[in-house]
Chains A and B, each alone.
Chain A
């Protein structure tokens, strides 16, 4: 939707330069990281001269050419980053699906309830969201170890689903508020139970909201560190803790370039995701966007 109007050239120039500046600011660090992932540590993180990262001085000296795939090879093959990506796919897919199932059912109920306790439940959910994750996860450790739940992917999946429910519920409940009540009420008048009305009438029209919430759930699960670093073992780590494990410790240097290469690899699928769902996302946010 564009509003036809007279735009002064000054406004156009100001708008264009603002967008350009913002795009440069947004993209530059990632572009720099992408470029640097093909260099060695002595170049990309050079304390001697930052232009080394551009020219690849130390990369040339250490590997014989200005670009090197050592970071990628080290991360993916040597350190088994491919296993971590598989684990991430499993965790993220299940987290998003379960999150959305729980969230749509709950969000619909909250939107249609009409009783005051729905409001208080939403407030409680907000308070739940305020709890720092690191405290929650530290509290899980003893019971999980005792009941042998620690270190399994399903445990992390259900924890991620639960921790992100408050946000999911809030977002979905606002989308459902903007679907007119008449739709499901008329279905119920025609003899459907509440669940049948939900299935027949609401589900077909709720996709834009669900996709949007799904995207945010996806990002929360994909980039999560606090939960997965403490609840998964070395063998079934997801990507972000695996990247953190490349960073070494106080006593021993890690393989920082593996981490850089891994982070570029981890971000690449997100680009594809955003490119493909860009339209759906915007469409989803548009119909009954989160009205608070």
Chain B
């Protein structure tokens, strides 16, 4: 396809992405390399309704405004924000390494740094939820595919429910259900025989709860994708395999699964990306005490009275970098596929 035709076709889409994603990303990168100007503080009299007038520290607006007018972006900080304690914490990590006598001790020192604490949960969540979603989605697809036709419609529609309810309220309702006095919480207490069991109090149980929610919420996406793929498995190949005496499991392993491989790659791509940016469950389940993620840290930076834009920008770029690293195996495979398609 000649370049000019290509450009004409892709222009609307490209323009939208360039204006609303690429340009902001450049601005985010620039923002992450700067910090705010030094605020000039001064003592001034402040009057409030309760304690009358007294001297407090306030910002000298005129002086600070002058600085800002000279350099609107702020002070150039280079990679300083990326390496500060709230992000990669290079100085603190080196300190912890020097002061620790064992790997375990180093690990626990690392866990008191916000970025590594967030990474611990984010990576655990990503690498546990993704395979479970794929396996569960595949199982559901295979089983529903084998159902009699009348049952397929309703079961497909019910199976999609976890995906279509707004996560905001969905997780809030579940949060109350898993409370020690809620229906799921009390049932678990009866099942395990432990009257003091609380899913919200212990970090491990909170992580487990969030992971189970993650799998439950994302399985329908995998299911519907795989189910559709199953519709296009070649009946000839299957019949040939049967004639050759292949058992059910062998047919599954040698015919169905390879056919589904590209779909599995796609679902894995999307899931890795989305799970790495996990955020709604932590808010919905009030789990901040026990679990935090990169996206949650970004949200926290921006949802304050006085937002920290530079810090949020740096964490966002680290998220993008993290996603890129996670996707390398998938991308390599896609590159190979692309090249083979080009040649043919």
The answer for the CA separation of A247 and B19 in the assembled complex, in Å, is: 34
Minimum Cβ distance to chain A for residue B330 (Å): 8
Minimum Cβ distance to chain B for residue A129 (Å): 6
Which residue from A112, A132, A281, A284 sits with its C-beta under 8 Å from B277? A132
Chain A residues lying within 8 Å of B327, measured Cβ to Cβ, are: 126
Chain A residues lying within 8 Å of B295, measured Cβ to Cβ, are: 132, 134
CB pair B231 A47 closer than 8 Å:
no
Minimum Cβ distance to chain B for residue A218 (Å): 10
State whether the Cβ of A105 lies closer than 8 Å to any Cβ in chain B: yes
Minimum Cβ distance to chain B for residue A234 (Å): 18
Chain B residues lying within 8 Å of A284, measured Cβ to Cβ, are: 228
CB pair A134 B165 closer than 8 Å:
no
Would A139 and B155 be within 8 Å (CB), given that A5-B248, A25-B216 are in contact? no
Chain B residues lying within 8 Å of A119, measured Cβ to Cβ, are: 334-335, 338
CB pair B169 A102 closer than 8 Å:
no
CB pair A243 B169 closer than 8 Å:
yes
Which residue from B21, B248, B263 sits with its C-beta under 8 Å from A290? B263
Q: What secondary structure prevails in chain B residues at the interface with A?
A: helix
State whether the Cβ of B292 lies closer than 8 Å to any Cβ in chain A: no
CB pair B266 A135 closer than 8 Å:
no
Contact with B along A1-18 (1 / 0, CB 8 A): 111010100010001001
CB pair B17 A128 closer than 8 Å:
yes
Minimum Cβ distance to chain A for residue B226 (Å): 9
State whether the Cβ of A109 lies closer than 8 Å to any Cβ in chain B: yes
CB pair B269 A292 closer than 8 Å:
yes
Name the residue on B nearest A267 (C-beta): B165
Would A223 and B169 be within 8 Å (CB), given that A113-B1, A131-B316, A139-B28 are in contact? no
State whether the Cβ of A93 lies closer than 8 Å to any Cβ in chain B: no
State whether the Cβ of B14 lies closer than 8 Å to any Cβ in chain A: yes
Name the residue on B nearest A51 (C-beta): B183
State whether the Cβ of B229 lies closer than 8 Å to any Cβ in chain A: yes
Chain A residues lying within 8 Å of B276, measured Cβ to Cβ, are: 130
Minimum Cβ distance to chain B for residue A115 (Å): 8
Q: Which of B33-41, B84-92, B111-119, B317-325 lies at the interface?
A: B317-325
What interface size band does chain A fall in? 35 or more
CB pair A130 B224 closer than 8 Å:
no
Chain B residues lying within 8 Å of A11, measured Cβ to Cβ, are: 248
Minimum Cβ distance to chain B for residue A275 (Å): 6
Chain B residues lying within 8 Å of A116, measured Cβ to Cβ, are: 342
The number of residues on chain B lying at the interface, defined by a beta carbon within 8 Å of a beta carbon of chain A, is 104
CB pair A289 B156 closer than 8 Å:
no
Would A289 and B341 be within 8 Å (CB), given that A19-B147, A135-B28 are in contact? no
Chain A residues lying within 8 Å of B330, measured Cβ to Cβ, are: 292
CB pair B156 A278 closer than 8 Å:
yes
Which residue from A102, A166, A266, A275 sits with its C-beta under 8 Å from B12? A102
Would A22 and B169 be within 8 Å (CB), given that A109-B1, A130-B323, A267-B164 are in contact? no
Chain B residues lying within 8 Å of A174, measured Cβ to Cβ, are: 266
Would A26 and B220 be within 8 Å (CB), given that A266-B166, A278-B156 are in contact? yes
Would A108 and B9 be within 8 Å (CB), given that A26-B159, A134-B302, A166-B17 are in contact? yes
Name the residue on A nearest B251 (C-beta): A3
Chain A residues lying within 8 Å of B166, measured Cβ to Cβ, are: 223, 225, 240, 243, 263, 266-267
Would A286 and B229 be within 8 Å (CB), given that A132-B316, A165-B17 are in contact? yes
Which residue from A18, A105, A134 sits with its C-beta under 8 Å from B143? A18
Minimum Cβ distance to chain A for residue B140 (Å): 6
State whether the Cβ of B16 lies closer than 8 Å to any Cβ in chain A: yes
CB pair B20 A158 closer than 8 Å:
yes
Q: Which of A29-37, A56-64, A66-74 lies at the interface?
A: A29-37
CB pair A177 B157 closer than 8 Å:
no
Would A138 and B231 be within 8 Å (CB), given that A5-B242, A102-B12 are in contact? no
| Residues 248-282 of B at the A interface (beta carbon under 8 Å) | 248, 251, 262-263, 265-266, 269-270, 273, 276-277, 279
State whether the Cβ of A169 lies closer than 8 Å to any Cβ in chain B: yes
The answer for the CA separation of A134 and B298 in the assembled complex, in Å, is: 8
Minimum Cβ distance to chain B for residue A267 (Å): 5
CB pair B157 A278 closer than 8 Å:
yes
The answer for the CA separation of A3 and B233 in the assembled complex, in Å, is: 11
Which residue from B24, B169, B176, B299 sits with its C-beta under 8 Å from A136? B24
State whether the Cβ of A233 lies closer than 8 Å to any Cβ in chain B: no
Which residue from B16, B176, B309 sits with its C-beta under 8 Å from A162? B16
CB pair B181 A30 closer than 8 Å:
no
Which residue from A3, A278, A286 sits with its C-beta under 8 Å from B231? A286
| Residues 47-105 of B at the A interface (beta carbon under 8 Å) | none
Most interface-central of B6, B220, B276, B342 (chain A CB within 10 A)? B6
With A27-B158, A50-B182, A282-B156 known, 15 other A-B pairs at CB within 8 A are A3-B235, A26-B158, A105-B13, A106-B14, A109-B9, A109-B10, A159-B20, A162-B17, A165-B13, A166-B21, A240-B166, A260-B173, A285-B225, A289-B229, A290-B225
Tell me the A residues contacting B by CB distance below 8 Å: 1-3, 5, 7, 11, 15, 18-19, 22-23, 25-27, 29-30, 32-33, 36, 44-50, 53, 101-103, 105-106, 108-110, 112-116, 118-119, 121-132, 134-136, 138-140, 158-159, 161-163, 165-169, 174, 177, 194-195, 198, 212, 219, 223, 225, 240, 243-244, 247, 259-260, 263, 266-267, 270-271, 274-275, 278, 281-287, 289-292
| A/B interface sample: 19 pairs, CB < 8 A | A1-B233, A29-B174, A29-B177, A33-B169, A50-B183, A108-B9, A109-B5, A109-B10, A127-B320, A127-B323, A130-B323, A139-B31, A161-B16, A163-B20, A166-B17, A284-B228, A285-B227, A289-B263, A291-B262
List the 7 closest A-B pairs by CB distance, nearest first: A285-B228, A106-B13, A162-B20, A109-B9, A291-B262, A130-B323, A162-B16
